[in-house]
Amino acid sequence: MSIGGAEELSEPVTYRGTAYPWQCDHIGHMNVMYYVGKFDEATWNFFASIGMTPSYLRDGGRGMAAVQQNIAYRRELLPGDIIEVRTRVAEIRDKVIRFVHTMRNAESGEVAAECELTCVHLDRATRRSCPFPEAVSKAAAARMAPAAP
């Protein structure tokens, strides 16, 4: 459950943090570059949660490449706001995964932003796409969830 009694959400938390004053722009809210950074941190936590850990990527000569990213900004985040990102899988294919991060103000439960990413699994030696291991595909499929209301 989020701080402040917001409803229980089914997607796992992939990032928790704070909007720091130095991350805010001349308008007084968190600057877009920090939304992207926090979504990126959520991505790496999400990847690890489905089996694409740093050691899997390093030792297996694998990588992930984002090929599309779309962000919708819904509500501003102010200095001191506590941030929570939850991630759901929208689609898993042989070599491609599409997932959605939902960033909320953890106190109010309000959606601050949503980020949809499409990423390709790579063989770093050949610089070409390659299939996900079965365990990763199954773990990702288990994380598929309907879109949040």
Q: What is the pLDDT of residues 55-77, one digit of tens each?
A: 999 999 999 999 999 999 999 99
pTM for this structure?
0.90
pLDDT tens digits for 114-134?
A: 999 999 999 999 999 999 999
Residue type, 79: P
User: What CATH number does the domain located at 11-142 have?
Assistant: 3.10.129.10
pLDDT of residue 11: 86
Torsion angle (degrees, nearest 10) of CA 38, 42, 44, 49: 170
Q: How many CA atoms lie less than 13 Å away from 12 in the CB half-sphere? A: 16
Question: Helix or strand or coil: residue 115?
Answer: strand
Give the Cβ contact number of residue 83 at 10 Å: 22
